Amino acid sequence: MAVDVVILGLGYVGLPLAREATLAGMSVIGFDVNEALVEALNAGRSHVDDLSDDDIVAMKESGFRATTDEREIAAAAAAVICVPTPLAEEGGPDLGAVQSATEAVARNLRPGMLVVLESTTYPGTTDELVRPILETGGLLAGKDFHLAFSPERIDPGNKEFGPRNTPKVVGGHTPACTEAAAALYGRFVDTVVRTKGTREAETAKLLENTYRHVNIALVNEMAKFCHRLGIDLWDVIQAASSKPFGFQPFYPGPGVGGHCIPIDPNYLSHNVRVKLGYPFRFVELAEEINATMPAYVARRAQNILNDAGLAVNGATVLLLGVTYKPNIADERESPAVPLARDLTALGAKLAYHDPHVRDWRPGVEALPVDDLESAVASADLVILVQNHRAYDADQLAAKAKRFFDTRGVTRTDEAFRL
């Protein structure tokens, strides 16, 4: 039986996309090489924060199903590739999953099919890697099948903007390819934005995240010297935000996390170095600054304890919130991990609490606590790493011997702030 779309990769990007298409009345198949994941989805169990088990059950009732059988790709009018692109050792994206998924599509490619890459990567990937693989069987992109790139814009935990009301950027190998991709997404996304081609669409995604990366680095650098000068940066940002034009607030923190901000800009800087032979200095400097923040927080923690006449060696330090974003369970690239390792290297005894994470493994010993208030009261130092909704920071700061707020949410003078 023919289906409207098969989505390859059923993680934080592919699964919400599949749900939105299903809600629009489209017939959708999800493909993934992870057998356990496929079995869980077909049993009605979700593994991503933004979708509940009930959401998966509703998708199934509307005809969605997951499979590990790549032959089912051949029944789809469109194939959308949403597989991960982790950072490779040399600094660019690891395109192994993209290549494998593209090869699976190529083995099942039919005339007239639309193939869209959503995985974040460097400019030129769609044309230089994906297209040649798809054309190995003799069909030509832009002539026998449509090919496009559409960057994912999923923001886990965002209750205001989801797949439907976040504008969808599409860029095709040819203008006709662009229109084919726009027609697909137009069935379940409110706004479609067309670019001149695949490279422009690929670069748009990198620009979005590089913009955030650089501006976060700016305020992180300011946090360091504002602390030494006795300036409250959080108050500064609030004041600057009163300007109705020309300013957008960004906030410092213990480091950047998730798949996008700490990783995607590296794809761009790596691509510039490889293809043009010179560094993208803004991006590389931003990466250097943001990567040092966990170590900076650890040093601040050490100084807070020193000022109280305590050595960090042997002190009990409680970390609150170990995910990369508030109110979700996603731990990808969380700055809590390098912070835990830096504190352990200084001799601290670590404990942690997170209402969304029961089993955290940062690579060093960190004991979970169940009784939050008791743990806060007994720790030598409490560090608010992630401000989950479940935390009342001011109340916790009042109970703690020492409270280090890395998110600028406390209003009490009793707390130390980044």
Whether residue 173 is contained in a domain is answered as yes
My answer on whether 105 and 170 are in the same domain is yes
Whether residue 350 is contained in a domain is answered as yes
Closest CA to 219 of 135, 132, 320, 290: 290
My answer on whether 186 and 235 are in the same domain is no
- List the chain pLDDT tens, one digit each, 418 residues: 589 999 999 999 999 999 999 999 999 999 999 999 999 999 999 999 889 999 999 999 999 999 999 999 999 999 999 999 887 777 778 899 999 999 999 999 999 999 999 999 889 999 999 999 999 999 999 999 999 999 999 888 888 999 999 999 999 999 999 999 999 999 999 999 999 999 999 999 989 988 999 999 999 999 999 999 999 999 999 999 999 999 999 999 999 887 676 676 777 777 777 778 877 888 888 889 999 999 999 999 999 999 999 999 999 999 999 999 999 998 888 999 999 999 999 999 999 999 999 899 999 999 999 999 999 999 999 999 999 999 999 999 999 999 999 999 999 888 999 9
My answer on whether 38 and 184 are in the same domain is yes
Task: Tell the residue number behind the tokens 């560094």, with chain if given.
Answer: 279
Closest CA to 24 of 170, 148, 184, 194: 184
Whether residue 205 is contained in a domain is answered as no
Report the alpha-carbon distance of residue 404 to residue 412 in Å, rounded: 11
Segments forming the whole domain that contains residue 227: 218-417
Report the alpha-carbon distance of residue 76 to residue 90 in Å, rounded: 36
My answer on whether 384 and 290 are in the same domain is yes
Contact criterion met (CB below 8 Å) for 134 and 102: yes
Which domain-ending residue is among 140, 161, 196? 196
What does the pLDDT read at residue 47? 93
Task: Tell the residue number behind the tokens 């590389």, with chain if given.
Answer: 284
What does the pLDDT read at residue 274? 76
Closest CA to 320 of 406, 410, 220: 406
What does the pLDDT read at residue 276? 81
What does the pLDDT read at residue 122? 87
Half-sphere exposure of 31 (CA within 13 A, CB side): 26
Which domain-ending residue is among 151, 166, 196? 196
My answer on whether 286 and 174 are in the same domain is no
My answer on whether 172 and 261 are in the same domain is no
Whether residue 87 is contained in a domain is answered as yes
Report the alpha-carbon distance of residue 62 to residue 58 in Å, rounded: 6
What does the pLDDT read at residue 158? 87
My answer on whether 222 and 190 are in the same domain is no
My answer on whether 100 and 157 are in the same domain is yes
My answer on whether 184 and 228 are in the same domain is no
My answer on whether 365 and 326 are in the same domain is yes
Q: Which residues are catalytic?
A: 260
Contact criterion met (CB below 8 Å) for 328 and 49: yes
Which domain-ending residue is among 141, 161, 196? 196
Q: Look up the pTM and report it.
A: 0.89
Whether residue 157 is contained in a domain is answered as yes
Whether residue 209 is contained in a domain is answered as no
My answer on whether 302 and 249 are in the same domain is yes
Domain count, the chain: 2
Q: For residue 418, give both structure tokens.
A: 């980044």
My answer on whether 348 and 383 are in the same domain is yes
Q: Provide the CATH number for the domain around residue 380.
A: 3.40.50.720
Whether residue 342 is contained in a domain is answered as yes
What does the pLDDT read at residue 412? 86
> What phi and psi, each to the nearest 5 degrees, are found at residue 313?
-70, 110
Report the alpha-carbon distance of residue 284 to residue 150 in Å, rounded: 26
Whether residue 201 is contained in a domain is answered as no
